[in-house]
């Protein structure tokens, strides 16, 4: 059954986030041959439209307004309301990001609809669209269907493969005009605390440190390893509590949930709190002095040893591979 | 100030998850106040102590949730409300929860509503913003700081590690993020006092809602455990050799590099 499905593209530092392409891929499955329309919202975002088409959007709707330069729930809801009223889609896919998590429940409530959030897989099973999502902090999974109303969905970054980028795809780019008014929350300031570069929730490789890193300086080799691999640095709660790094790096039940292709845990014991945030990573490497550490139970590969000895050696070896590649 | 906290009783995820007859077996498991809701309760108490008023903690659940409500009262909340829809509504989801809570709150003239940003069991993170939308009030999610001056509110919000400083006004709904405060433990006198504090019990009828008004929009068709992970490979030998082997395995076997 063909359906028209919208996706909300997400922009960060002037570029589209990867999850925007993953949302298009999920929307294609949900649409079952129907039209997938990517919506991009902001002050000046029109130039991003061709990339959305290259990643599989059949059409792009651009909503530009100076009051949409910064995300607010009221501003974005007004923009999307105009688009939904015009397009009458059967589903809308967001990234399960700070923005998607904040906005999607508001819209689902407005349309008296269900919302399946934090989706890691989508299948069309002939009739139903079945969504898989983690529950109990990833210790179990549930399969859900939408039984009534519009299908609102948020997809967890890094889980649904985007379509192959194809610059030869074509599609219309159209503007929708909106009047944005009465914003009840105003963003006065944005304080950047995260490091430049790779976004933790979208990183393909994460190098994470725990108490075993021992100090803020101890994170330096981890940062270098992350750099060599084009990845991001994360931390356990223990390392954050000890003041070795900012809480913005925390991975776990409180903190971020990540699913990179490669997770390298350095000096992390593997408390349940931490495992809840990373155990669904595709490949886990553990480096720890304590052979009994819990982290080895979820690791695919383990090295029992001192991270300050192992990590520099790893940096050298990965550099060699990079030279060959 | 009229302050409400939306609380959920959750399965402690430190518990082992066992699936029986297609459901997570809750028998004998430990239940707790959802950790993010504890921040919301603590913040509500602090706001009341600073600005005056009353804190009411509301939950949807069955009589078992009385224990968590009493804990919230022992922390310092003034009143508790248990909305028991178990017998009335067979199919429930976040649409149901938000609709019931909003129906309860609509004539309460709340100045401030607090909730956790996500529950650690279902992990949907929907109920706060949904309730705000249904009540027609603004909301700010994942907050780490709250300052109230008259009806003006300044909030700091965690956005994937960055901070947004937001200005808004009451009435307002906020959802709590880790870092907002350090929730207190109930004191012994607090526990004694909590026994005498009012705990009201409501059903769907008391809210002028019919089952059809709140029926779920989504349905869970299966619950399953992730495939058991095979034991990992602990490398052996000289550290330098282990590192070489690891890089080679990541390259050729796992193919992630």
Both tokens of residue A81? 């309301």
CB B217 within 8 A of CB B97: no
Mutate to test the interface with A, among B31, B216, B250, B252 (most CBs of A within 10 A): B250
pLDDT at A325: 56
Nearest to A137 by CA among A21, A254, A244: A254
Mean pLDDT calculated for residue range B118-134: 96
Q: Which of B123, B134, B160 sits opposite A201 (nearest CB)?
A: B160
Q: Which of A189, A205, A253 sits opposite B13 (nearest CB)?
A: A253
User: Which tens digits make up the pLDDT trace of B53-98?
Assistant: 999 999 999 999 999 999 999 999 999 999 999 888 989 999 999 9
Contact B225 A139 (CB under 8 A): yes
CB B189 within 8 A of CB B73: no
E strand or H helix at B129: helix B127-135
Give me the residues of B, 13-32, that contact A with CB < 8 A: 13-14, 17, 19, 24
User: Which tens digits make up the pLDDT trace of B1-47?
Assistant: 999 999 999 988 777 888 998 888 888 889 999 999 999 999 999 99
Which chain B residues contact residue A73 at CB under 8 A?
129, 138-139
Mean pLDDT calculated for residue range B98-123: 97
Q: Which residue of A has its CA nearest to B214?
A: A112
Which chain B residues contact residue A256 at CB under 8 A?
160-161
Q: Which of B161, B234, B256 sits opposite A304 (nearest CB)?
A: B234
Q: Order of strands across the sheet with A140-146?
A: A121-124, A129-135, A140-146, B218-224
**Which residue ranges make up each domain of chain A?**
4-175, 205-323
Contact B168 A200 (CB under 8 A): no
Give me the residues of B, 162-221, that contact A with CB < 8 A: 162-169, 178-179, 215-221
Which chain B residues contact residue A114 at CB under 8 A?
93-95, 216-218
Nearest to B255 by CA among A91, A325, A233, A10: A325
Q: Which fold has domain A205-323?
A: Rossmann fold (3.40.50)
Whether the predicted model's global pTM rises above the 0.90 cut = yes
User: Which tens digits make up the pLDDT trace of A171-229?
Assistant: 999 999 999 999 999 999 999 876 666 778 889 999 999 999 999 999 999 999 999 99
The answer on whether A250 is annotated among ligand-binding residues is yes
pLDDT at A270: 94
CA–CA gap between residue A100 and residue A150 (Å, rounded): 16
Both tokens of residue A239? 């390392």
Å between B231 CA and nearest CA of chain A = 7
The CATH architecture to which B2-214 belongs is: 3-Layer(aba) Sandwich (3.40)
The answer on whether A270 is annotated among ligand-binding residues is yes
Q: Which of A187, A191, A313 sits opposite B239 (nearest CB)?
A: A313
Mutate to test the interface with A, among B171, B246, B248, B251 (most CBs of A within 10 A): B246
Task: Report yes or no for ipTM above 0.85.
Answer: yes
**Which residue ranges make up each domain of chain B?**
2-214, 228-257
Q: Is A170 left (phi over 0), alpha (psi -120 to 50) or beta?
A: beta
Q: Which residue of A has its CA nearest to B161?
A: A248
CATH of domain A4-175: 3.40.50.620
Both tokens of residue B147? 């300052």
Contact A185 B167 (CB under 8 A): yes
Lowest mean pLDDT among A114-128, B69-83, B174-188, B220-234: B220-234
Q: Which residue of B has its CA nearest to A231?
A: B257
CA–CA gap between residue A191 and residue A163 (Å, rounded): 34
The answer on whether A287 is annotated among ligand-binding residues is no
Domains A4-175 and A205-323 fall in the same CATH topology? yes
What percent of chain B has a predicted confidence (pLDDT) above 70? 100
Give me the residues of B, 112-151, that contact A with CB < 8 A: 120-134, 138-142
CB A123 within 8 A of CB A100: no
Which chain B residues contact residue A248 at CB under 8 A?
158, 160-162
Q: Which residue of B has its CA nearest to A77?
A: B133
Longest dimension (CA), chain B: 72
- Terminal Cα-to-Cα distance of chain B (whole angstroms): 56
Q: What is the DSSP string of A200-258?
A: GGG-SEEEEE-GGG-SSGGGHHHHHHHHHTT-EEEE-HHHHHTTSS-GGGBBSSSSB--
Which chain B residues contact residue A155 at CB under 8 A?
none
Which residues neighbour A17 within 8 Å (Cβ) at sequence distance 6 or greater? A10, A11, A95, A97, A157, A199, A202
Which chain B residues contact residue A133 at CB under 8 A?
123
Which chain B residues contact residue A309 at CB under 8 A?
239
Å between A224 CA and nearest CA of chain B = 16
Residue segments in chain A with a per-residue pLDDT below the cut of 50 = none
Å between B15 CA and nearest CA of chain A = 10
Which residues neighbour B253 within 8 Å (Cβ) at sequence distance 6 or greater? none
């Amino acid at each position: 059954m063909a359906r028209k499905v919208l996706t909300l593209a997400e922009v960060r530092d002037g570029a589209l986030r990867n999850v925007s392409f993953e949302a298009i891929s999920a929307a294609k499955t949900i649409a079952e041959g129907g039209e997938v329309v990517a919506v991009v919202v902001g002050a000046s975002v029109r130039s991003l439209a061709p990339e959305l088409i290259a990643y599989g959007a059949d059409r792009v709707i651009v909503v530009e307004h100076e009051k949409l330069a910064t995300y607010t729930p009221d501003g974005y809801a007004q923009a999307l309301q105009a688009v939904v009223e015009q397009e009458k889609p059967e589903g809308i896919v967001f990234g399960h990001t700070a923005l998607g998590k904040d906005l999607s429940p508001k819209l689902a409530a407005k349309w008296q609809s269900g919302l399946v959030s934090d989706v890691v897989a989508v299948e069309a099973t002939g009739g139903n669209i079945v969504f898989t999502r983690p529950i109990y902090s990833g210790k179990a999974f549930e399969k859900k269907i939408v039984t009534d109303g519009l299908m609102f969905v948020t997809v967890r970054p890094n889980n649904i493969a985007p379509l192959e980028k194809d610059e030869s795809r074509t599609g219309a780019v159209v503007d929708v005009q909106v009047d944005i008014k009465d914003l009840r929350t105003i963003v006065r300031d944005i304080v950047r605390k995260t490091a430049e570069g790779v976004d933790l929730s979208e990183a393909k490789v994460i190098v994470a440190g725990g108490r075993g890193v021992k100090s803020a300086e101890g994170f330096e080799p981890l940062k270098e390893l992350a750099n060599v691999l084009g990845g991001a640095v994360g931390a356990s709660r223990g390392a954050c509590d000890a003041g070795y790094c900012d809480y913005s790096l925390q991975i776990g039940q409180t903190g971020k949930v990540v699913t990179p292709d490669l997770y390298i845990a350095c000096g992390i014991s593997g408390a349940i709190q931490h495992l809840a945030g990373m155990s669904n990573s595709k490949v886990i490497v553990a480096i720890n002095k304590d052979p009994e550490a819990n982290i080895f139970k979820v690791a695919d590969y383990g090295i029992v040893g001192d991270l300050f000895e192992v990590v520099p050696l790893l940096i050298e070896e990965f550099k060699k591979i990079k030279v060959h590649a | 100030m009229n302050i409400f906290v939306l609380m959920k009783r959750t399965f402690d995820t430190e518990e082992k998850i066992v699936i029986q007859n297609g459901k997570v077996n809750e028998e004998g498991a430990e239940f707790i106040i959802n950790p993010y809701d504890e921040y919301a309760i603590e913040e509500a108490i602090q706001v009341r102590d600073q600005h005056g008023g009353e804190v009411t903690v509301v939950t949807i659940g069955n009589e078992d949730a009385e224990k968590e409500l009493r804990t919230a009262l022992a922390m310092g909340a003034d009143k508790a409300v248990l909305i028991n829809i178990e017998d009335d509504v067979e199919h429930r989801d976040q649409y149901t929860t938000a609709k019931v809570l909003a129906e309860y709150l609509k004539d309460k003239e709340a100045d401030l509503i607090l909730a956790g940003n996500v529950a650690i069991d279902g992990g949907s993170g929907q109920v706060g913003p949904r309730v705000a939308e249904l009540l027609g009030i603004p909301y700010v999610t994942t907050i780490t700081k709250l300052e109230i001056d008259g009806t003006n509110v300044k909030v700091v919000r965690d956005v994937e590690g960055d901070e947004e400083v937001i200005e808004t006004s009451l009435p307002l709904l906020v959802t709590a993020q880790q870092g907002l405060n350090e929730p207190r433990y109930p004191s012994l006198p607090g526990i004694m006092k909590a026994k005498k504090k009012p705990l009201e019990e409501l059903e769907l009828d008391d809210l002028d809602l019919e089952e059809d008004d709140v029926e779920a929009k989504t349905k869970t068709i299966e619950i399953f455990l992730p495939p058991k992970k095979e034991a990992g490979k602990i490398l052996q030998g000289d550290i330098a050799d282990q590192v070489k082997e690891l890089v080679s395995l990541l390259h050729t076997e796992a193919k992630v590099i």
